[in-house]
Chain A
Amino acid sequence: MEGNGEISDTDSGIILHSGSDSPTTHTKDVTTHTRAMKVKHQDLRDRLEICILELKKLCIREAELTGRLSEDYPLLPGEKPPQIRRRIGAAFKLDEQNIPQGAEDSQLSLVDAELALQMKIYEAARKLCEEEQLSKAVRRSRLQQCKREEKKLKQLQETSFQLRLEHGRSSPLPAFNITQQDLGTSDDSSLSDSVVQDEEVTSQSSQPSSGLPYPVETDPPQPAPASSHSSVDGSYMSPSVAKQSLQLNLPQSPLTSLDSKLSSDSSPLYDLPPIQHSPWTESSLDQPYQKSKKSRSSSKTSSPAKTELLPPLETCLAQAGLPVQLSHLRLSRTQSNSTPSTPEMRVHRQLSLRLSSESSFDKDRGRTRGPRRRLTEYAITLPQTPLPPVNLGHHANSEDSNSEHSFTSYNSSPCQESPGDLPKYQCAFPTSSPVSGYGPPAFSPSGFYHNPRHMSSPSIQNTYYNKEMVYPADRDMSPSYYPQQAPCSPNRYEYWYKDTAVPHQRAQRPLPPDVRLTPSAQWDHPQYRSNCLPRQVVNEQLKSWHRRSQLKAPRSRSLDRQGAVRMKNTSARESPCYPNQKYHDQLIQRAALQRAAEDVQGHWVADDGTHYISQV
């Protein structure tokens, strides 16, 4: 029986009241509830409608751009998909970056802007041409339009390119960027290639020294090259390239390409872009890194580390005198011991990786065989000789001056070799021909080591020319001139120098003595320290050195100067106090090594620094 108690049944929503009004309340609640639901329902429907409309519009836009309607298009039952109009015009957007902004040169920027626009126009015209189902007339007219646009494009590109050339080395770059922009995405590779080639050709012909469009690419704002390198760059390579390589960590950067360039002996480096564009290759990272690839990212054992440094050094050869990482590695080619070194020293990268030979070479040194030693010493002609093509003349020259510095210093610490040595020399020489090229040795001053021994044999002629063994038969002088060798990677190679230290005999020696010193700390100076040269000889040598240095481009490497100063001081001295001389030389050597080490460390530290900064 119903009482006053209320029984509420939440499920049914019926509250049993004893009151009389319970049914109405209940109904009201239901109604309210329903109404609320209805309102919500309607709201949702409206929103859905709006969303569908948005989707439709988007689909249409998409279809206009892509040319086809996506399946997402919401279709009511019975509704037909809308007709779409392909809007070519909206298919691209001019990238801001390609439009030079705030350019100092308004003319250039104008041209650039036009160029960017024209590219798009051309692209659009091309796409129009490719549209299917064109009637003949339409197709013909479109083709003509396309050709017109293409011509305009090329003209603009030429203009901009020329403008850029006038404005600096980095000019070819932006043109390339614009050229290649969007062209490669579709099937325009042929066009972009041809355009690129055009640019390249033009650049090469018009400005050989800066014919390096690509390498400069990524860093248009080229920071001023380290001042120490500026002089080096001048003749050697496009400064922009040099800058770029300087910018980048040395191990990185256009080493590979430079390597390949270096190996192609003949052409002067500055005529070709240092970075070759190879076909886009893909390499699996599951394969062990091959040594033949010049560098191996292996552990920090000495040899891999050395090999890693190789390419950079080779690059350095090209750049003559970049203070690449100096490793106390000396790459020397031990033609050494046994076989008489062949006249031609082919420097191959792989060969120069002969660290082991180097070590064996070192061992040899200590050993007795006099002639042998000389042999090896000479043999170390620095593989580099062949390395950098002759055009490294400048740098080599500058290198030479360095060496000469050192040489003179050593000169004063003469090697008074006993006559007995001479004959040895004589036999030694023939074998060591490869030693000296007359090429400019591009070695860093840090690696000086003078072998006085060489100095003495008067009867030995040492005229070495690049890759040639020239023994001027008439030259009875022994002075070891190693005319500059082809510049080799400065830091890494040892240069042997036969010194014209002819103590007693000749005071003549017009030949400029080039002394190459190898930074071999292991070598005993004492071994090579003989006596001092007579002052006359020293003076002669100094004069000749001066003459030579004047011929060469001045090297503004800081290392050089320091070394030079030291050398001068040393050489100015009279007969050497043997111990003093030795000390000095050792000092120099050590300093050189230290510098090398510092360079290396600095280099790596810099890398590490970035490493830390960028790591999260």
Chain B
Amino acid sequence: ETLVKLVSQQRIEIQKLRQGNNLILGFSIGGGIDQDPGQNPFSEDKTDKGIYVTRITPGGPADVAGLMMGDKIMQVNGWDMTMVTHDKARKRLTKKNEDVVRLLVTRKSLEEAVKQSMGGFPRP
């Protein structure tokens, strides 16, 4: 028996929202190489020190763009995010001169996993 873990990669383009003097994105992140990965509630692998989306502001720019809680951010505008400190990740996402951030995220897709396992299931 094998358990299939499927992740799907998504490209999410978030248009930052200007609020006063700030450009907000409407989500929160957790993780980083300087963080304890065991406490990440979203990661499947508890040694994964990647950056995960921990919260999405409903109706915010990230929500509108399709980002979901639990997504792991792999890249931001081409910059790798799998091996960064927490602060570095924040920096990369909150650059003041960038209005748009394009994220590459992976998302555990349970439905897909189930479908696939059923489809290929040759039980008589």
Contact = CB atoms under 8 A, between A and B. Distances in A.
A295 B34 contact: no
A610 interface: yes
Given A283-B86, A285-B24, A615-B78, A254 B33 contact: yes
Contacts of A214: 33
Interface string B81-124: 01111111011111111000010100000000000001001011
Contacts of A297: 90-96
Contacts of B44: 185
B57 A281 contact: no
A284 B28 contact: yes
Contact of B22 (A53, A256, A280, A286): A286
Given A285-B25, A286-B24, A289-B94, A218 B121 contact: no
Given A54-B123, A295-B87, A193 B38 contact: yes
Nearest to A218: B83
Nearest to A304: B96
B74 to A, nearest CB: 9
Contact of B86 (A281, A296, A607): A281
A180 B38 contact: yes
Interface residues of B, number: 58
Contact of B36 (A280, A294, A612): A280
A53 B36 contact: no
A1 interface: no
Contacts of A172: none
Given A285-B25, A296-B91, A300-B97, A611 B47 contact: no
A295 B88 contact: yes
A282 B94 contact: no
Interface string B50-91: 000011010010000000000000010111101111111011
Nearest to A311: B87
Contacts of B85: 252-257, 275
B37 A184 contact: yes
Contacts of B86: 256, 278, 281, 283
A93 interface: yes
A614 B86 CA distance: 21
Given A176-B47, A286-B22, A299 B35 contact: no
B38 A192 contact: yes
Given A184-B46, A614-B75, A282 B30 contact: yes
Contacts of B21: 288
Pick the most buried of B2, B29, B85: most chain A CB atoms within 10 A of its CB.
B85
B29 A282 contact: yes
Contact of B80 (A283, A300, A610): A610
Interface string B1-25: 1110000000100000001011011
A219 B37 CA distance: 16
Contact of B57 (A176, A181, A286, A287): A286
A282 B87 contact: no
A608 to B, nearest CB: 9
Interface string A547-575: 00000000000000000000000000000
A426 interface: no
Q: Which 6 A-B pairs have the closest CB atoms?
A: A184-B46, A297-B91, A280-B39, A611-B78, A286-B24, A615-B78
18 contacts: A50-B124, A90-B1, A177-B47, A184-B37, A192-B46, A196-B38, A218-B33, A254-B85, A256-B34, A280-B40, A282-B30, A285-B25, A285-B28, A285-B29, A285-B90, A286-B26, A298-B97, A607-B79
Given A184-B38, A289-B91, A615-B78, 15 more contacts: A54-B118, A58-B118, A93-B3, A180-B38, A184-B39, A253-B33, A275-B33, A280-B30, A280-B31, A281-B35, A284-B27, A285-B28, A297-B93, A610-B80, A615-B77
Interface of A: 50, 53-54, 57-58, 61, 90, 93, 176-177, 180-185, 189, 192-193, 196, 214-215, 217-219, 248, 251-257, 275-289, 293-300, 308, 607, 610-616
